Structure 1
Amino acid sequence: MKTLLRIDSSPRKTESLSRQLADVLQQKLENEGNYSTLSRDVYYDDLVKLGNEDSVTAYFTPDNQRTVIQKEAVKASDVLSQEFANADAYIFAVPMYNFGVTAGLKAYIDLIARAGTSFKYTEKGPEGLLKGKKAFVIITTGGTKLGTEVDYVSGYLKTFLNFVGITDIEFINSDQVMTNAEKILSDAKEEINQLVLN
């Protein structure tokens, strides 16, 4: 059975549209795609937090040369980055806040972008190590139209995923929900149900 890593990033829980759509997609992938789901709520997870100078220096210090303090400083990043690398597919449930991703998701991305785990440096530049994996990205917005000059979410996530080697990305857009939330949510659910899984 393949591992599906679901990443929620909304500060809302019961009223979150991105979480509701992720529920629908998760059920479809479990029923039709032979996936077992591991969930990570990056807005509330204690592991997802800003680092400090010790963690920054530890990232650039070989494992066998790290001090006890440095090892402790990157423990959360070690867990999260390895968990991310081990997954076969991903659901990103992403609300847009102030034209970008939430603070929790940005911190999470900083923690999982680890040289040697999700990418490596080569003579030709960085190379992603997570090739052959699939990402489903659900983006909800209140009034911002995705794909416009003020959409700093979809391009950012595509760039990051490509950077770590994930190029098979399915975007499920649920933008401008404040205009007609019921219809937009219904349309997004229908889009999910019509997905053809490999």
Structure 2
Amino acid sequence: MKKLLRIDSSARQSDSISRQLADVLQARIEQQGAVTVQKRDLYYEELVKLGNEDQVNGYFTPADQQTEAQQHAVAGSNILATEFAQADEYLFAVPMYNFGVSAALKTYIDLISRVGVTFKYGEGFPIGLLENKKAYVIVVTGGTPLESDYDFVIPYLKVFLNFVGITNIEFIKAASTRNNIEQALIDAKNNINTLEIS
């Protein structure tokens, strides 16, 4: 059975456009066949939190040599990184905050970027360990044109996903303003409904 990991990164819940669109896409994926869905709601997930010196040092210390404080500090990262590595597909719901990803998503990416779990070091360069997986990325803005000079969401997520070995990426874009939110939602939902879901 295919494992889908859904990652919500909006601080909003009831009126979040990215969550609404992710619901539509998740339903489409589930219609295609047997799939289990694991959800991480980053602003409301206790495992997603900024680290400290023990955490950073723990990343570079073999597990059997870590202090008790280091073991505690990396425990959440271990869970999230392993979960991310074990998924087959990913559904990111990403609002743009101040031209970039939210603080919660950036923290999450730092926590799952783990040597030996999502990437490894080659001869002078890193090698992603998550090949042959697919990521759907819904990106919502309040008017900033996507893929413009002011968009630091799509380029950043492309780099990160490629870094861990994920090159099959489908971006669903919804750039709206206060005056055209409903139309932006309709257009994005139409795009989702025409996607080829494997």
| TM category, shorter | over 0.9
How is 1:158-177 mapped onto 2 (pairs within 5 angstroms)?
158-177=158-177
How is 1:24-63 mapped onto 2 (pairs within 5 angstroms)?
24-63=24-63
TM-score (norm 2): 0.98
Query: Which residue does 1:100 correspond to in 2?
Result: 100
User: Would you identify which runs of 4 or more consecutive aligned residues in structure 1 move more than 4 Å?
Assistant: none
1:83 & 1:145 partners in 2: Cα distance? 33
Query: Which residue does 1:190 correspond to in 2?
Result: 190
2:90 & 2:137 partners in 1: Cα distance? 8
Runs (5+) with no aligned partner, structure 1: none
Residues 94-137 of structure 1, C-alpha deviations (whole Å, 9 max, x = no match): 00010011110000000000000000001141000000000000
1:33–1:197 Cα change, 3 Å: farther
Q: What is the Cα deviation at residue 69 of structure 1?
A: 1.1
2:179 & 2:106 partners in 1: Cα distance? 27
The 8 Å contact of residues 177 and 185 in structure 1, kept in 2 or not, is answered as: no
TM-score (norm 1): 0.98
1:33–1:174 Cα change, 3 Å: farther
Query: Which residue does 1:8 correspond to in 2?
Result: 8
What amino acid does structure 2 have at the position aligned with 1:113?
S
SS of the equivalent of 1:7 reads strand
CA RMSD after TM alignment = 0.9
Q: Out of 118-127 and 28-37, give the one that drifted further.
A: 28-37
Q: What is the Cα deviation at residue 33 of structure 1?
A: 4.2
What amino acid does structure 2 have at the position aligned with 1:43?
Y
The 8 Å contact of residues 33 and 197 in structure 1, kept in 2 or not, is answered as: no
Query: Which residue does 1:113 correspond to in 2?
Result: 113
Query: Which residue does 1:70 correspond to in 2?
Result: 70
What amino acid does structure 2 have at the position aligned with 1:169?
I
Residues 12-51 of structure 1, C-alpha deviations (whole Å, 9 max, x = no match): 0010000000000000001114321110001110100000
What amino acid does structure 1 have at the position aligned with 2:189?
K
Identity of aligned residues (%): 59
1:109 & 1:15 partners in 2: Cα distance? 24
Query: Which residue does 1:19 correspond to in 2?
Result: 19
The 8 Å contact of residues 140 and 177 in structure 1, kept in 2 or not, is answered as: no
1:118 & 1:40 partners in 2: Cα distance? 17
Q: How many residues align?
A: 198
Residues 24-81 of structure 1, C-alpha deviations (whole Å, 9 max, x = no match): 0000001114321110001110100000000000001111211111111100000000
